[in-house]
Amino acid sequence: MLKLSAATADGREQIVGLLYPADFVGRPFAEEAEHSVTALTDVELCVFPRKPFEAALENHVRMERLLLRRTLAALDEARARMLMLGRKTAEEKVASFLLDMAHHLGGPRQPGETSFDLPLTRAQIADVLGLTIETVSRQMTKLKRDGLIGLPSGRVVTIRDRRALQERAEAA
């Protein structure tokens, strides 16, 4: 898993996106990247030199369309994140975040519990969600106390009641 971050003029960092296995990193047809990319877990990247990759896109319409679809999906995710940041409560944000992590990291979706290793620290989660680390910790504890999630050890999270967690994630 990777994080995309931007720096403010005074040096503060803001996580502006997360990338998961099979996601595309980079921006064809741009001279410079606008964001820093940092690995949160062990990562294997397949690197394509920019100019030959751009030429391949121009010569292969199906490949260009696939990249366009992925770009539009990323835009949809960014818009959903804007809604979450602007309108959801702290509990809704944390519940939405955990469901998103389970979707991307929890393996094949099956009935019952889903467990995954959370690749971000609570401070990074707070940064992504526009919350404080204390608020993230309180919300995680509340979701655990209510039986929706388990926190068995370290960064392991278990979704115990997906339906109830989804209800908590929905904006009121």
Task: Give yes or no for a contact between 37 and 21, defined as CB atoms under 8 angstroms apart.
Answer: no
| CB neighbours of residue 73 within 10 Å | 11
Delimit the CATH 1.10.10.10 region(s) of the chain. 88-169
Tell me the pLDDT tens digit for each residue of 110-164. Answer: 667 889 999 999 999 999 999 999 999 999 999 999 999 999 988 899 999 999 9
Task: Give yes or no for a contact between 143 and 123, defined as CB atoms under 8 angstroms apart.
Answer: no
Task: Give the pLDDT band (50/70/90) at residue 33.
Answer: confident
Q: Specify the pTM.
A: 0.81
The position carrying tokens 């751009």 is: 54
Which CATH architecture does the domain made up of 88-169 adopt?
A: Orthogonal Bundle (1.10)
Return the DSSP state at 130. Answer: T
**Is the pLDDT score of 172 beyond 60?**
no
Residue 164, CA distances (Å) to 36, 69, 110, 170 in order: 36, 31, 16, 10
**Higher-confidence position of 142 and 64:** 142
- The predicted model gives 64-71 an average pLDDT of 89
Find which of 30-34, 69-73, 126-130 is predicted with most confidence, using mean pLDDT.
126-130
The position carrying tokens 């504890």 is: 141
Task: Give the pLDDT score at 107.
Answer: 63
Task: Give the pLDDT band (50/70/90) at residue 78.
Answer: confident
Find which of 26-35, 41-50, 107-116 is predicted with most confidence, using mean pLDDT.
41-50
Closest by Cα among 50, 1, 40 to 23:
1
Instruction: Please report, rounded to a whole number, the percentage of residues in the chain having pLDDT higher than 70.
Output: 96
